[in-house]
Amino acid sequence: MTKLIYIEREIKDHFRTKLICSKISNPEIIIIDRFSEIFNKRNQSFKLQKNDPALILAKKYKNLLHKTPENYGIGNKYNYYFSYMYNCLFDCKYCFLQGMYSSANYVIFVNYEDYYEEIKKISITNKKKNITLFSGYDCDSLAFEAVSNFMSYLIKKIPKYENIDLEIRTKSTYDKLFSKNIIKNIIIAYSFTPERFSNKYEIGVPSVDKRLKVIKRLSNLGWKLGFRFDPVIIYDGWQEDYKELFVKIFQNIDIDNVHSITFGKLRFPETIYKKLIKENISESLFFNLEKKRNSYESSNEYNIESFLIENLTKFIDERKIFFNN
């Protein structure tokens, strides 16, 4: 666990700041004016910082919710995402965060109530619209939950707003929030790549079997589950590995509790791709990408969509499958 904590001056006496700090043994605390002075420094090494990241506690002032890209969703027409935290405990070598951010330090925005007020406002002003909120874009939704308690706070509020579905996306096995008291408008969504790939390139991520043990418990309780194969990684032997993964997942849960499945290509804007390659210069290239305009994407010679639809529909109704391209 990180020992160095930077705290914005404005929130140094915030009750949540004190609570988070109390969960870290003998922290070294440094008071700063704004998180950006540490987080946005130039010439930082994401890879080196990942070995021993600091924690930064800050306040988020604006842009708490964002509209998702047009083709991104799991059934509802109106979709938003939010990030109460920047960066992730896990170290997935293909993760876009290492290309997007200069720093691997963790940032937690402690003003959770402001996120809730934005969610409340969207729900009330769009009473006749069904909305999905996505958590876990700039971080893993649950991997740091034992320290942050963000989801513990939020899920108590969500049942009040029946026109809102909340997707909680994770690769972790943290499940202490989810009891027998099912919250109908929450989807717990698990991201997967095949075990052979994950063991090598998703550092710190629990094994497929460990995650499936948690998922089976949640399925037995009746929680709505999502499965996210996004991105689908193309490498030598990927088709057989994905087929094996699908069998392992879907033969061990109640299919009726599967809310949705999504998949998509591995894709990067050119600037992020170049930074990612720079940060992993010693790694052998583990994915096949081709340049398209100002981005890099999985090669078209492998028909990802056809392959995923053909193999997933052996287990799941196609209406529950979404291609987020």
pTM: 0.94
Query: Are the C-beta atoms of 189 and 227 separated by less than 8 Å?
Result: yes
pLDDT for 288 beyond 90: no
CB neighbourhood size of 314 (10 A)? 10
What is the structure's pLDDT at 287? 63
- The tokens for 165 are 């579905």
pLDDT band of residue 2 (cuts 50, 70, 90) is confident
* Greater model confidence, 98 or 113: 113
Query: Are the C-beta atoms of 73 and 79 separated by less than 8 Å?
Result: yes
- The tokens for 269 are 């804007």
Q: Over range 105-124, report the average pLDDT.
A: 97
**pLDDT tens string 37-52:** 999 998 888 888 999 9
Of 167-176, 255-264, 290-299, the least confident:
290-299
Classify residue 269 by burial, with Cβ atoms within 10 Å: 0-12, 13-18, 19+: middle
Rounded CA-CA distance 76/286 in Å is: 34
Reading phi first (left if > 0) and then psi (alpha if -120 to 50, else beta), residue 257 is in alpha
What is the structure's pLDDT at 248? 96
**In this structure, is the dihedral angle defined by the CA atoms of residues 217, 205, 251 and 261, taken in order, positive or negative?**
positive
Helix and strand numbers, DSSP H then E, in the chain: 12, 18
Long-range contacts of 20-28 (CB under 8 A, 24+ apart): 20/55, 20/57, 20/108, 20/110, 20/147, 20/148, 21/57, 23/146, 23/147, 24/55, 24/147, 25/1, 27/3, 28/3, 28/4
What is the structure's pLDDT at 272? 85
Rounded CA-CA distance 311/325 in Å is: 18
Query: Are the C-beta atoms of 16 and 66 separated by less than 8 Å?
Result: no
pLDDT for 285 beyond 60: no
Query: Are the C-beta atoms of 58 and 111 separated by less than 8 Å?
Result: no
- The tokens for 287 are 């994915």
**CA triple 34-38-21, angle to 5 deg:** 75
What is the structure's pLDDT at 5? 98
Paired with 100 in beta bridges are none
Residues whose CB is less than 8 angstroms from the CB of residue 279 and which lie 6 or more positions away in sequence, other chains included: 45, 46, 47, 98, 99
What is the structure's pLDDT at 306? 92
Task: Classify domain 4-323 at the CATH class level.
Answer: alpha beta
CB neighbourhood size of 171 (10 A)? 24
* 3-state SS assignment for residue 81: strand
Q: Over range 313-321, report the average pLDDT.
A: 97
**pLDDT tens string 9-41:** 999 999 999 999 999 999 999 999 999 999 999
What is the structure's pLDDT at 45? 83
pLDDT for 296 beyond 90: no
**pLDDT tens string 180-194:** 999 999 999 999 999
What is the structure's pLDDT at 31? 98
Q: Over range 309-325, report the average pLDDT.
A: 94
Which sequence spans correspond to the domains of the chain?
A: 4-323
User: Could you give the percent of the chain with pLDDT greater than 90?
Assistant: 74
Residue with tokens 């896990």: 90
What is the structure's pLDDT at 291? 82
What is the structure's pLDDT at 284? 65
